[in-house]
Structure 1
Amino acid sequence: MNATNKTHEIVVLGAGYTGMLATVRLARRTRKLNVRITLVNPSERFTERLRMHQIAAGQELANHHIPDLLDGTNVVFHRAAATAIDVTARTVTLDDGTQLHYDTLIYGLGSTTDTSRVPGADEDAWTLNDPRQARRFSHRLTEINAAAGTVTVVGGGLTGIEAATEIAESHPDLTVTLVSTEELGHMMGDKARAHLNRALDRLGIVRKIGVQVAKVLPDAVRLTTGEMIASDLTLWTAGVKVSPLAAHAGIAVDDRGLIITDTTLRSVSHPEIVPIGDAAAVRMPFGVLHGTCQSGMPTAAYAADSVTRRLRGKTVKPFRFGYIHQPVSLGRKDAVIQFTKADDTPRRWYLKGRAAVFYKEQVSGSPVPVFKMSKHMTMQVQFANGGRATRALA
């Protein structure tokens, strides 16, 4: 690149947790190279997906604008949505008619809640995909709480648990029901799971475990057992889907639509494309990573480092990752942290109560301070048991 003095065009699709981190880290690490970075996102607002349940429960969060977060980086921000990728011409078409050329494409289009598999979920269930919808949900919660109404949260994963506890704590006059196909906290150890269930009992949350939803109605949820649950509001957190953009472009994807990667997080079919976060099917010795911020942020940091290293003509070490914990908020005053082995199976140790609240706030609070600091220094992002950092540098 330096020999021809040609500008290397890097396009980043998606300005979520992973896209933002990859962008600001790339901007710093390539500042002395002939590189132009363009970040594409449909909204100027940075959405804190991990805190959407707090918005839904009626809490106010800081409003962060992406152009402000990029100030001083020389990154070009383009407010638009990608509609097509031409992998032969190496172009991305946007919904405003713009066409961007790329030499390297960082693909950070994350996942959204999948409401397509159960009748009525699309029409009559709410999701946490969008802060505006979460805010409208919070307004409806206030109205229903005044009438001592009913809310059903479908999905017993960490998002569903955090949403149900946040809603029950902030709106004590509601009857909150949590529906899950699996035991709540099934990935945790016995003691952490026991604390989780005590918190649900304390908050009066009704559980329907080992059942599936057959249909969502405007005022009820029908289970596959035939049972009807009265539900003035239904919040859907069960299952996710990814953008079909990669599959439509002919990029190699798995059966979930995730881009299949090599050991250095490049697409196996198109190595100039680097998927990160929920968009990437990343295989470790213990299996494919599941989409969480815990694994997503390291893929973003590693992608920035590996792209930079290749631009400098240097070798890149394979990506390595191991889980360290399962952090779950149980309202504003309680939490449980299950510490894990690298493969996400539980260790003996766990935290509960206020100690867990403090811990969770430290490790999974707002990423905005990390973005801001990453403009000025190379932040280490922990990615494996033992505290090794996700850097592609030798």
Structure 2
Amino acid sequence: MGGNIEVVVLGGGYAGVMAANRLTRRDDVTVTVLNPRPEFVPRLRLHQLVGGTHDAVVGFDEVLADGVRLVVDSVTRIDAVARTVTLAEGGSLGYDHLVYAVGSGSAGPRVPGAAEHAYPVATYEAAQRLRSVLLDTPKTAPVTVVGGGPTGIETASELAEQGRAVTLVCGGVLGPYLHARARRTARKYLAKLGVEVVEGPGTAVTAVTGEAVELEDGRTLASRVTIWTAGFGVPDLASNSGLRTDADGRLLTDETLTSLDDERIVAAGDSSAPSGLPFRMSAYAAGCLGAHAADTVLSRIAGERPRPIDLAFPAMCVSFGRRAGIFQLANKSDVAVPVYFTGFAGKKLKEFSCEASVKHLVTEARKPGSHHWPKDGKHRPRLLRARQDQIPVA
């Protein structure tokens, strides 16, 4: 390919920024990042934005490599044939290669009344709105957090630490990823903060009103502010553009992260579904997938065969306010093991992880190609072999 090579990155989150920075390894590549807001949002901090202990923004000038162009806009359609993207503010942008890293948010809740009366927290704008609502709500008013995963736990803890009356409705087990021993510790931390944990059979939410939450087992919980952290959703840009997606709307790719419909489109982060088996949602995975997506593009530009993704998950972590945390270790197949750090050590490791998620981007901006990650080599190939007849190949 002669002349300058235009690569457009859709999304300025962990995956998109990592991919954009890594793509600057070639001098003949021009990189443009399209993002709907002018600042980078470290999503790991959104529960702190709700609680008022972090502003959850970092300037793109801190995390993007010099020379990467930032366009603040949204994309309404991808034309894979013409190799253009249509901008929400008007006009279009052409590309030679496209990195699809549009991220994720909360799925539109299907529970009656949730859309009208519950507040999501998965995006910067949603967290800001919830923060404003809480500032106008007396601290004595009951708050209900729906969802027993990390976001639910961290949001409930952050608010309870401020003295709010918080109930955490899990709709199942608390912290399903955690090892059973770590889960017991999590319950103790939440109890110490004053969070009432509602978990087990019958705790799924069936309706939300302006003043209450109704559960499957017939209970009604008073709730002046209901916070919705359950579910998962991605933008419908790929499906609306005629690209194949999985049931949740993630772009379907092969193991090199290349779209099944066009080898000039690669996907990374929460909005990607390699072989229909997406990786667990996390900032860590997003950064690694973003780096691999860039490597796939660079391989194609060089006329080389891209490598399949190889990624191991060493741990996950969750905070309980500003004073405690759990750092849960895992084996390479992403299953929690009975080894974890708690208390002050867990808190420090959690904070280190949050800081590292941004530091990796800064390091890649200064030294493209420097980001490395633990490999698995066995678990994912085993999963793929188990469903060999269903593996999509680009």
Compute the TM-score of the two structures, normalised by the length of structure 2: 0.89
How big is the shift at 1:143?
4.2
The answer to whether 1:84 aligns with 2:81 is no
The answer to whether 1:381 aligns with 2:372 is yes
How big is the shift at 1:145?
4.1
The answer to whether 1:128 aligns with 2:121 is yes
Matches within 5 A, 1:35-74: 35-61=29-55, 63-67=57-61, 69-70=63-64, 73-74=66-67
The answer to whether 1:245 aligns with 2:237 is yes
How big is the shift at 1:35?
1.8
Matched residue type, 2:171: T
The answer to whether 1:205 aligns with 2:202 is no
Please report the RMSD computed on the Cα atoms of aligned residues, expressed in angstroms: 2.0
Q: Give the aligned partner of residue 166 of structure 1.
A: 158
Q: Give the aligned partner of residue 20 of structure 1.
A: 17
Please say if residues 334 and 354 of structure 1, whose CA atoms lie closer than 8 Å, have aligned partners that are also in contact. Answer: yes
Please say if residues 67 and 77 of structure 1, whose CA atoms lie closer than 8 Å, have aligned partners that are also in contact. Answer: no
Matches within 5 A, 1:1-394: 1=1, 5-27=2-24, 29-30=25-26, 32=27, 34-61=28-55, 63-67=57-61, 69-70=63-64, 73-146=66-139, 148-169=140-161, 171-172=162-163, 174-209=164-199, 210=201, 211-283=203-275, 288-365=278-355, 367-377=357-367, 378-384=369-375
Query: Aligned partners of 1:180, 1:275: CA distance in 2, in Å?
Result: 31
Deviates more, 1:214-223 or 1:238-247: 214-223
How big is the shift at 1:225?
2.5
How big is the shift at 1:68?
5.5
The percentage of aligned residue pairs carrying the same residue is 35
Deviates more, 1:118-127 or 1:154-163: 118-127
Change (3 A) 1:371 1:239: same
Any idea what SS the aligned residue of 1:240 has?
coil
Question: 1:250-286: per-residue Cα shift (whole Å, max 9, x none)?
Answer: 21111111111112110122121111001111249xx
Query: Aligned partners of 2:278, 2:68: CA distance in 1, in Å?
Result: 32
Matched residue type, 1:140: V
Q: Which runs of 5+ in 1 are unaligned?
A: 387-394
How big is the shift at 1:244?
0.9
How big is the shift at 1:163?
0.8
Any idea what SS the aligned residue of 1:365 has?
helix
Change (3 A) 1:220 1:345: same
Any idea what SS the aligned residue of 1:198 has?
helix
Change (3 A) 1:235 1:268: same
Any idea what SS the aligned residue of 2:82 has?
coil
Deviates more, 1:129-138 or 1:352-361: 129-138
Any idea what SS the aligned residue of 1:126 has?
strand
Matched residue type, 2:19: A
Any idea what SS the aligned residue of 2:151 has?
helix
Q: Which runs of 5+ in 2 are unaligned?
A: 378-394
Query: Aligned partners of 1:385, 1:364: CA distance in 2, in Å?
Result: 23
Please say if residues 42 and 58 of structure 2, whose CA atoms lie closer than 8 Å, have aligned partners that are also in contact. Answer: no
Change (3 A) 1:98 1:367: farther
Deviates more, 1:18-27 or 1:122-131: 122-131
Query: Aligned partners of 1:242, 1:139: CA distance in 2, in Å?
Result: 25
Query: Aligned partners of 2:352, 2:6: CA distance in 1, in Å?
Result: 35
Change (3 A) 1:111 1:370: same
How big is the shift at 1:296?
1.4
How big is the shift at 1:189?
1.8
Question: 1:276-316: per-residue Cα shift (whole Å, max 9, x none)?
Answer: 001111249xx542222221111001111221232122333
Query: Aligned partners of 1:243, 1:380: CA distance in 2, in Å?
Result: 27
Any idea what SS the aligned residue of 1:381 has?
coil
Please say if residues 206 and 216 of structure 2, whose CA atoms lie closer than 8 Å, have aligned partners that are also in contact. Answer: yes
Query: Aligned partners of 1:162, 1:53: CA distance in 2, in Å?
Result: 6
Query: Aligned partners of 2:181, 2:350: CA distance in 1, in Å?
Result: 18
Matched residue type, 2:207: K
Query: Aligned partners of 2:376, 2:37: CA distance in 1, in Å?
Result: 35
Any idea what SS the aligned residue of 2:186 has?
helix
Please say if residues 295 and 383 of structure 1, whose CA atoms lie closer than 8 Å, have aligned partners that are also in contact. Answer: no
Any idea what SS the aligned residue of 2:296 has?
helix
Deviates more, 1:127-136 or 1:73-82: 127-136
Any idea what SS the aligned residue of 1:196 has?
helix
Question: 1:103-131: per-residue Cα shift (whole Å, max 9, x none)?
Answer: 11100011111233112222211111333
